[in-house]
Amino acid sequence: MPRTPTDHEMQEAAERLGIVEPGQPLPPRLRAKVAKAIQAAEKIEATEQAEAAASSDFVTPVATIHADLITAGLPETAAARVVAAIAPAIWRTSQGAAHARQ
């Protein structure tokens, strides 16, 4: 269940969105709409953060493996092919971890 925004948060959001002028009270008929907008924005932000974390969980091991293969003496093209071959498994692992965090 999403948290209920405070009166102060709703007033600030209404002012930022141009629903009311600064210092003007938020009409009761708009309070629920502003509260829902705040909750939707928080949900979007949480989703974006989870997606960024999942992307990082994927990119870091792929880049590390690629660099390690080159350091071990594999030509860059061969290292790229190896990483391309194992990337789907890394993606599935990182996405599974991302879903577990939600």
Q: Are 69 and 83 within 8 A, CB to CB? A: yes
DSSP 42: H
Of 97, 38, 90, 93, give the one whose Cα is nearest residue 65: 90
Q: How confident is the model at residue 101 (pLDDT cuts 50, 70, 90)?
A: very low
The domain limits of the chain are 7-101
Contacts of residue 42, defined as CB under 8 A and 6 or more positions apart, other chains included, come to 2, 3
Query: What was the pLDDT predicted at 22?
Result: 93
**The two three-digit tokens of residue 57, written as one number:** 């969980």
On whether the pTM is more than 0.75, the answer is no
For the chain, first and last CA: distance in Å? 14
